[in-house]
Structure 1
Amino acid sequence: MEKKDPYASLRIKEFNIFLLVRFLLVFAWSMQFIIIEWQVYSLTKDPWSLGLIGAFEFLPAFTMALFAGHIVDQKEKRNLLALCIGAFSLISLGLYFLTIPSFVADWNEKTVLYLIYSLVFFGGFLRSFFGPTIFSLIALIVPKKLYPNAATWSSTTWQIASVLGPAFAGYTIYLMGVNLSLCIVFGLVMLSFLMVFLIKRKPIMNPKKGEPIIKSLREGVDYVFKTKEILGAITLDMISVLFGGAIALLPVFAQDILEVGSKGFGVLRAAPAIGAFLTMLITAYIPISKNAGIKLLSAIFGFGVCIIVFGLSKIFWISLVALFFSGVTDGVSMVIRQTILQLKTPDHMRGRVASVNSMFVGSSNELGALESGITAKLMGTVTAVVFGGSMTLITVLITAIKNPTLRKLDLTKDMEAHEATP
């Protein structure tokens, strides 16, 4: 039997450029989100304001997702990604100016907050295009037999950036302040904009170019709902992220419960991503395709347990360990879900399927932030986090009983079939 090469996709030069662009984007985006969370909570001292950040990003990301997927499937992917990055740079620049004390000196606090929320809203609209574009571009850079390997390294790159971005943001806030931290974000976005043009333009794979939008959207949604493996995986992940959104309340824990300041906040925010990154690195060597359904259910159940432990803890190191293992379990879930999507999605439907996925999972991060903000306001911060973790456990148990297709899912044959494809 031929030995598998864990670095197969990394031997493709253009894929390495793609990973660098993705790293820069995720690093900058995660930095920016953390900085804005810190700034908004510092201004308001109200957990509800953190929920509003999630709401303002969720609404456009969710409502535009299907239309974005249709556009992605109809357009050339490299230039579309460049356009998205250019728009992202405008958001970063706007947030930079809104945090210059002399620039907003004559403005009241509500005006500044409303403008920040407006830019967050625009970012949500933009994010509805990022996911489908990146997901589709991977399939045009690497051959089919390397899809699972490329998905692992792409997700790993995302996690590395998610590890370093929040931690770096915490330290830059502490050392340089919010404004200069956002200046760094803008510089990183512009660097990614220049790098993306090192990737060649790609052919449009959709044989139905110019298809009426309603028919196109219906086809994408129908495919997801008919493919039980995709529907089950992303539904389960959506609900776990929705109710396990403790990360959105980290500024409250860092400032008021654990009392560890901005440095501790950066460490706490990085802990889940470190756990997920290490998990994904291991899966490049040890595939988890066999009995993938059971592993997915077990991982999300473990995630719920970690969230409950974090919510109940008042000791920094226990909270840190709980968040680390929440990242480990989330990493397993992410690798399995991305592998399912890559293996089960036809090339001409990648944009639309990725958009439906973003509606289920991606937008649930922001909706989870809103849910956390509301429940924290009504129940208190600790109770809200424990409630969310408990709902995750209940969801896993119900899914395991009601969805035998997902429970019995095994991706071994699918991976072997793709490895045999040139």
Structure 2
Amino acid sequence: MDQASTFPTSPVALSRHPPLLLYIASRSLSEFSYQVATVAVGWQIYALTGSAFYLGLAGLVQFIPSAILVFVAGHAADRYDRRRIVQLCELVQGLTAGYLAVRLLAGTLTTPEIFVALGVFGLAGAFESPASSALLPAVAPEGMRQRATALSTGAWQVATIGGPAIGGLAYALSPGAPFVLMAMLSLIASALSGMIRVERVAATEHEGLDGLFAGLHFVRSNPAILGTISLDLFAVLLGGATALLPIYAKDILQAGPWALGVMRAAPAVGALLMTAVIARHPIARRAGLRMFQAVIAFGLATIVFALSRNVWLSIIALMAMGAADTISVVVRVALVQLATPDAMRGRVGAVNFLFINASNQLGEFESGTTAALLGAMPAVLLGGIGTIAIALLWMRLFPVLREVDQLE
């Protein structure tokens, strides 16, 4: 029997690999809980302030801890028990969500308290992400890391799809319900993370400042990796429209919380569909060029979303954005994973988190600020045009990335 047929792809098969099962369950619940809260946070901030700037500021508040602590978080993931780091971060997120729920249900929640909570979420995420990404190879069955990564990514996308939709529905029932749900799911995820048992332990080499910045040096020394990470960074910075979805749902499309939840989930739906396509028809040749084409398609879909006045066309455009982004992610993850030794996975993962994941929050700040100055539609439109321009520029600045052929 070959490896493909023995890989765990069902709950029954996964039960034979407890560490991987616990890891996927924990990560899925953690991401699901966060996505449930994003809808409530965005809607609550806009309801309290009516300001696009404050919607963007929410992203900046989450970005700052990641920017300040990125190298410390990566070093910690390579020096200490990665399971405990993930467990502690999920516990902090759950307790913070519980505080928001209590204050909101009591009718005493203020805007500054929301921003403090977002800062705590950003701090926890800064440490959780590199530790979690570095932990995956340790829980994957031997020789099955790529398939385990695909399975984990699929579970994450399902959580990203369901979380915003349920968050919108829960908020429609009660403004405090999403935070109660987030608290429960985060605490369960923390308990599951604590149950993970692995034989391999985190590396403790590379002490001092040289070790602290080793991930950054590694990325800088690989032009193809630097090019793909920075391209994704600027594409998200310019093309990110998620911060303005409450404005589109309420004012432009004149829908409501249900539409906001569906639109938050739409990019993940597109991403999940594209994942299925790539799993069946992998990117075999000209991978670098395909990534540039995907970023340009992302920019075009952003332009369609900016100009749309129909909620279903907007949802389709957001799905197209998610599908195009998935192609870029596949190329980036393949390049990084194949080139990074296990002892450096935490630090390289931290740099990747800063460039990619945290750029979502910084992109929200950019979108909110631009929308406050120009309006929501011009801000998203200019972001889509800027994304296309960056892709064309990067094709000239990083020819080695454009020439990447195979991902294996």
* TM class, shorter-length: over 0.9
Pair 1:223–1:289, CA change in 2 (3 A): farther
Post-superposition CA distance 1:332-372 (Å, at most 9, x none): 22222222221111100001001111111111100000000
- Residue 34 (structure 1) shift: 1.6
Find the aligned partners of 2:116 and 2:199 in 1 and give their Cα distance: 33
Per-residue CA shift, 1:128-159, capped at 9, x if unaligned? 11110111001111256423222222222221
Cα offset for 1:408?
1.2
Give the CA deviation at 1:205.
Answer: 4.1
Looking at structure 2, the residues matched to 253 and 167 of structure 1 have their Cα atoms a distance apart, in angstroms, of 16
Task: Report if aligned partners of 1:232, 1:403 keep a CA contact under 8 Å in 2.
Answer: yes
Cα distance in structure 1, aligned partners of 2:179 and 2:401: 42
Structure-to-structure mapping, 1:174-193, within 5 angstroms: 174=172, 176-193=173-190
User: Which whole-Å CA distance do the structure 1 matches of 2:104 and 2:33 have between them?
Assistant: 17
Q: CA 1:410/1:8 → structure 2, altered by over 3 Å: closer, same or farther?
A: farther
Gaps of 5+ in 1: 416-422
Residue 117 of structure 1 pairs with residue 151 of structure 2: no
1:159-174 alignment runs, 5 A limit: 159-174=157-172
**Cα deviation code 1:178-224 (max 9, x no counterpart):** 11221111111111122223310453342516x11x11123221111
* 1:391 counterpart (386, 396, 399): 386
2:273 maps to what in 1? Answer: 278
CA, structure 1 residues 288+13, in 2 after alignment: closer, same or farther (shift >3 Å)?
Answer: farther
Q: Which residue of 2 aligns with 1:377?
A: 372
Alignment map for 1:28-107 (pairs within 5 Å):
28-102=33-107, 104=108
Choose the corresponding residue for 1:24, options 20, 29, 45.
29
Q: CA deviation at 1:285?
A: 3.0
Cα separation, partners in 2 of 1:4 and 1:202, compared to 1, 3 Å: closer
Which runs of 4 or more aligned residues in structure 1 lie more than 6 Å from their structure 2 counterparts after TM superposition? none
Q: Check the 8 A contact 2:233/2:355 in 1, yes or no.
A: yes
Find the aligned partners of 2:383 and 2:342 in 1 and give their Cα distance.
Answer: 36
* Preserved CA contact (<8 Å) 1:151 1:335: no
Q: How does 1:266-305 map to 2 (within 5 A)?
A: 266-305=261-300
Return the alpha-carbon distance in structure 1 between the equivalents of residues 405 and 84 of structure 2: 37
SS for the counterpart of 1:314 is: coil
1:219 and 1:289, CA in 2 relative to 1: closer, same or farther beyond 3 A? farther
Asked whether the 8 Å contact 1:53–1:120 carries over to 2, the reply is yes
What is the match of residue 306 of structure 1? Answer: 301
CA contact (8 A) 2:295 2:387 kept: yes
Q: CA deviation at 1:3?
A: 7.2
User: How far 1:35 sits from its partner (Å)?
Assistant: 0.8
> Residues 65-87 of structure 1: CA distance to partner in whole angstroms, max 9, x if unpaired?
11100111001111221111111
Q: Which residue in 2 is equivalent to 1:420?
A: none
Match of 2:363 among 358, 362, 368: 368
The equivalent of 1:5 in structure 2 is: 4
**Within 1, Cα distance between the matches of 2:205 and 2:403?**
34
CA 1:408 to 1:319, structure 2 compared with 1: closer, same or farther past 3 Å? same
CA contact 1:271–1:327 (8 Å) conserved in 2:
yes
Amino acid at match of 1:192: A
Aligned counterparts of 1:58 and 1:6: Cα–Cα separation in 2: 42
Equivalent pair of 1:77/1:202 in contact (CA under 8 Å)? no
**Cα 1:6/1:229, change in 2 over 3 Å:** farther
Q: Which segments of 5 or more consecutive residues in structure 2 lack a partner in the other structure?
A: none
- Structure 1 vs Structure 2: percent identity of aligned residues? 32
Which whole-Å CA distance do the structure 2 matches of 1:287 and 1:148 have between them? 13
| Contact in 2 for aligned 1:78/1:202 (Cα 8 Å) | no
8 Å CA contact 1:15, 1:141 repeated in 2? yes
SS across alignment from 2:4 = coil
Amino acid at match of 1:285: R
The number of equivalent residue pairs is 402
Q: Does the 8 A contact of 1:148 with 1:342 survive in 2?
A: no
Partner of 1:327: 322
- Structure 1 residues 194-203 or 153-162, which shifts more? 194-203
Greater Cα shift, 120-129 or 3-12: 3-12
Correspondence 1:97-246 to 2 at 5 A? 97-102=102-107, 104=108, 112-142=110-140, 145-174=143-172, 176-206=173-203, 208=205, 211-212=207-208, 214-246=209-241
Does structure 2 retain, via aligned residues, the 8 Å contact 1:135–1:354?
A: yes
- Residue 337 of structure 2: aligned partner: 342
Structure 1 match to 2:351: 356
How far did residue 121 of structure 1 move? Answer: 0.8
| Native 8 Å contact 2:224 2:398 kept in 1 | no
C-alpha contact 1:27 1:164 (8 A) present in aligned 2 = yes
Tell me if structure 1 keeps the 8 A contact 2:19–2:198.
Answer: no
Contact 1:76–1:201 (Cα < 8 Å) also in 2: no
